Structure 1
Amino acid sequence: MTDSPSSDLPSSAAPSVAPSIVRVQDVSKRFLLHKDKSLKERVMFMGRARKQVEDFWALRDVSLDITTGSTVGLVGHNGSGKSTLLKVIGGIIQPTSGSVVRRGRMAALLELGAGFHPDLSGRENVYLNAAILGLSRSETDLHFDEIVEFSGIEDFIDTQVKFYSSGMYVRLAFSVAVHVDPDLLLVDEVLAVGDEPFQRKCMDKIAQFQSEGRTIVLVSHSSDQVGRLCDRVIVMHAGSAIHDGDPAEGIRILRDGYEADRVSHVTQLQAVAEAPPEIPDLEVGEVTARTVVGSGQTDVIVTATIQINKSTPDWGIGIAIDTTLGLRLYAMNTFTMGQVLPMDPGLHVVQVTLPDIRLGSGKYLVSLGLGLPTGETIDRRGSAAAFDMPNDEFGAGILRIQPSLQISS
């Protein structure tokens, strides 16, 4: 692990290419999993200790360059290796093989209360944490009032932090981290602990960092947060990076993985069941979505084939529209419309028209489900279809607006 303006990293001499602040080269990380769960078992199997240990590779041959001024999101399923990669970048753990080169001052929020001593007061922990992050005492004196004000826990700054709530921990830790003037900020999901006003304050601070050209590496399970903040997304799976690039594509790959895991889990449950899986009364077949532009408006038409295997009264259809980053924009169902759907067995085609949808240009996803008025879901297809909205000549964003301008003098 190197933490210096190393010649191994590109210099700023080439103005056309942003210099790298972090270079990860062929990094792998192995952990040892002990099968014996007690001291007695360890003594009993002492002669065969190696047989009681398994290798677990949290990372395998990961390579990436993080350029100065970028905001990178690390996403993936639980156990995919994203937090391990962040800790390797931060120097918290050392890789089993490979190298990490990093330069500039770094601040990291990797664990709740990391760097805090529970028996020290908040005031004392500010100085301790700031020292760990590289600030001198005089520098901490200079920023202390700003740190406390940003955290919003002035009344408890002289209380031992072991009496703090999780939200107070995060407030103080984040406040220290963003006031040490970091070139590189590492954040691992801890922002989800704070309350909504503090999360907004954190987002504003991160936006300020982005405008100042600082580098941020963020681990988050919130696709909306990743989509809003990151210009690059790395999707981790089983210790490897399976996508590195466009955030929208990365989130799509992640969500497809979640759906594949869900289907695999259902299939496994059916395989171990003694009885053959029960054929559902209703099934979703092919789903398509398309846009129709005309008469100054854009309609979205969703068409779905529904297979009725057994006559089912009072069933309904629900449709939802999401952005590719997972933000829910609209949801409806036929129950609230008072619409009666066919009950006879056979294949039926249902077409739903959503008129005059004023969405900004881009791709949107359609999910469709079948259910009963009681709330029971019979079948569901997440991201079953997609449609593209045409370019908006008046602006950019989720909404399509035709602005008017008036000038008075």
Structure 2
Amino acid sequence: MFVTKNSASEKGLAAQVKDVSKSFRLYRDRSRSFKEAALRRQKKRSFEEFWALKNVSFDVNEGESFGIIGENGSGKSTLLKILTKVYTPTSGSIQTMGKISGLLELGAGFHPELTGRENVYLNGSILGMKRKQIDMMFDEIVEFAELEKFIDTPVKHYSSGMFIRLGFAVAINVDPDILVIDEVLAVGDEHFQHRCNQKILEFKKSNKTIIIVSHALEEMRNLCDRILWLDNGKPQELGKAAKVVDAYLDSINKQEEESAEHKAEKIGKYGRRWGSKEAEITGVEFFDQDGKKKSRFKTTDSLRARIYYKCHQEIDKPVFGVAIHRQDGAHITGPNTKVADIKIDKIKGEGYVDYTVKSLPLLKGGYLFSAAIYDHSCLHPYDHHDEMYFFEIESGVIKEGFGIVHIPASWSIK
């Protein structure tokens, strides 16, 4: 059920969502021809009921920036479409106050055969604006979208970035009371994203209400007052932005740690191995600075690779070596105990060797780890595990995203 009011409520709410659920029918069999469809009309089609949202409730205050986060398929976009009346809820109710403008998905509300100019007027009328109002705002909309040369071109010839620029320019300039934005802004280039963020901040300073879905968690942390975290269509947590983002990241990191361990096991099965086996490597494990076993680290973290071995006879002057490759094959490093001037007289029985990196310089990505035992000449391999182990680096304090390694440095300007 929808209720829309033109004036502000006594409670100062911009939107109120009560026990909203939304289901879709997923049909198992689809007709491949008109004849087949006609014959099936007499039969009851089987379907599976899929609940995209289950009992979602929250309030959005006037002038509040309210965020919605969650993994893909968690129901975020479905919820926004219900708020903007694209969908009706299966159960529950929604009450909104004032005019709502939404930017939900690429090309939404645009007719591909119409020009940019015609679509501005079409979108404006859908949002409840009169032609005179659109006339007054038209130049500002086109200027913000940076489409002066293409405004009379049919939008079917527009790129995805041009679509987004025009859609956002219309949505933000119709002076809505509530602005609803989905992840579509991620399509734009860096310049346009910056302009959009500035416009959103201006909108926020004018005490307008913003409801936004995004995977850019740091931006959500800074922009939003409160955040709702959805998980498989159900509210997982609702509260202050920083607290909810941190809880969500903790959950994601836990899942990715388990995924990294699974990848490590899988890659270990497909790596190469060779050697005479008088001494064997029985396994490699990774630990953090607290001695906790893990396969996922952050740039600048401490990593200790423990190489376990078993000797079938006494080995004189062995050399232990490792190598690290990025998943695309780039060779990062290949040190060994001989080069490091670590003298090992002999080994026998079982034991382990630790290779420790006090501060990982590696940037975000997946890395393959090799371990080997050679004779003192480094020509005869006792056991060589080539790219049989895997660990992953995620972004931490270091935000660099280009290249392979972080080089500590400083900037100065005069």
Q: Is the pair's TM-score, using the shorter chain for normalization, greater than 0.5?
A: yes
**Number of residues paired by the alignment?**
341
Task: Give the counterpart of 1:168 among 155, 162, 173.
Answer: 162
Aligned to 1:156, the other structure's residue is in SS state coil
Counterparts of residues 164-203 of structure 1 (less than 5 Å): 164-203=158-197
User: What pairs up with 1:287-306 in 2 under 5 angstroms?
Assistant: 287-288=289-290, 304-306=303-305
Flag structure 1 segments of 5+ consecutive residues without an equivalent: 12-18, 290-299, 319-332, 355-365, 387-409
1:346 aligns with 2:352: yes
Deviation at 1:220, TM superposition (A): 1.2
Given the alignment of the two structures, is residue 282 of structure 1 paired with residue 280 of structure 2, yes or no?
no
What is the distance in 1 between the residues matched to 2:39 and 2:258? Answer: 39
- In structure 2, how many angstroms separate the alpha carbons of the residues matched to 1:287 and 1:308? 16
Q: Can you list the C-alpha shifts for 1:209-250, whole angstroms capped at 9, x where unaligned?
A: 111111111111222332332222221111011011233333
> For 1:295-334, what aligned pairs fall within 5 Å after superposition?
304-309=303-308, 313-315=321-323
Structure 1 residue 119: deviation in Å?
1.6
Deviation of the 1:108 alpha carbon: 0.3
* Aligned equivalents of 1:246, 1:380: Cα separation in 2: 33
The residue identity in structure 2 corresponding to 1:282 is V
C-alpha separation between the residues in 2 aligned to 1:380 and 1:270?
7
Alignment of structure 1 residues 142-291 onto 2, 5 Å: 142-262=136-256, 281-288=283-290
* Conserved 8 A contact 1:259-1:382: no
Preserved CA contact (<8 Å) 2:305 2:356: yes
| Counterpart code for 1:49 | K
Contact 2:164/2:188 (<8 A) preserved:
yes
CA deviations 1:325-374 (Å, max 9, x no partner) are xxxxxxxx9949999889995274847269xxxxxxxxxxx999874499
The residue aligned with 1:3 is 4
Q: Which amino acid aligns with 2:67?
A: G
- 1:380 aligned to 372, 388, 391, which one? 391
Tell me the amino acid that sits aligned with residue 22 of structure 1.
A
Aligned match of 2:64 in 55, 70, 79?
A: 70
Contact 2:288–2:303 under 8 Å retained in 1: yes
Say if 1:283 and 1:379, in contact at 8 Å, map to a contact too: no
Measure the CA separation in 2 of the matches of 1:309 and 1:337.
17
Deviates more, 1:67-76 or 1:340-349: 340-349
Q: Which amino acid aligns with 1:57?
A: W
Residues 70-89 of structure 1: CA distance to partner in whole angstroms, max 9, x if unpaired?
21221111111010011111
Please list, as runs of the form range in 1=range in 2, the aligned pairs for 1:24-43 lying within 5 A after superposition: 24-39=17-32
Q: What is the one-letter code of the residue matched to 1:149?
A: E
Partner SS state of residue 149, structure 1:
helix
* Counterpart selection for 1:141 from 135, 151, 174: 135
Correspondence for 1:323? none
Whether contact under 8 Å (2:264, 2:389) holds in the other structure is: no
Q: CA deviation at 1:149?
A: 0.8
Find the residue that maps to 2:14 and give its secondary structure: strand
Residue 174 of structure 2 aligns to a residue whose secondary structure is coil
Question: Contact 1:20–1:68 (CA<8 Å) still a contact in 2?
Answer: yes
- Which residue of the partner structure matches residue 95 of structure 1? 89
Percent of paired sites with the same residue: 37
1:49: which partner in 2? 44
Change (3 A) 1:148 1:285: same
SS at structure 2 position matched to 1:154: coil
Q: Residue 17 of structure 2 aligns to which amino acid in structure 1?
A: V
Q: Is the 8 A contact 2:75 2:233 kept in 1?
A: yes
1:260 Cα shift?
A: 4.6
Segments of 5+ residues of structure 2 without an aligned counterpart are: 273-280, 292-298, 310-318, 372-385, 398-414
Verify the 8 A CA contact 1:62 1:240 in the aligned structure 2: yes
The answer for the alignment partner of 2:102 in structure 1 is 108
Query: Which one-letter code corresponds to 2:352 in the other structure?
Result: G
CA distance in 2, matches of 1:337, 1:152: 53
SS of equivalent to 1:182: coil
Q: Which whole-Å CA distance do the structure 2 matches of 1:347 and 1:247 have between them?
A: 45
Question: What amino acid is the match of 1:352?
Answer: K
SS in 2 for 1:200: helix
Distance change in 2, residues 1:10/1:288 (3 Å): farther
Please give the alpha-carbon distance, in whole angstroms, between the structure 1 residues aligned to 2:231 and 2:105: 21
Q: Which amino acid aligns with 1:314?
A: V
TM-score between both structures, scaled by the size of structure 2: 0.69
SS at match of 1:58: strand
Structure 1 match to 2:123? 129
Cα pair distance change 1:83/1:367, threshold 3 Å? same
Q: Work out whether residues 322 and 334 of structure 2, in 8 Å CA contact, stay in contact via their aligned partners in 1.
A: no
Return the offset for 1:157. Answer: 0.9
User: What letter corresponds to residue 284 of structure 1 in structure 2?
Assistant: F
Quote the offset at 1:317 in angstroms: 11
Q: Is the 2:55–2:234 Cα contact (8 Å) retained in structure 1?
A: yes
Shift of 1:276: 12
Divergent runs of 4+, >2 A: 37-50, 246-273, 275-282, 285-289, 300-307, 309-312, 314-318, 333-354, 366-386
The alpha-carbon distance between structure 1 residues 186 and 385, as it changes in their structure 2 partners (threshold 3 A), is closer
> For the pair shown, which has the larger CA radius of gyration, 1 or 2?
2
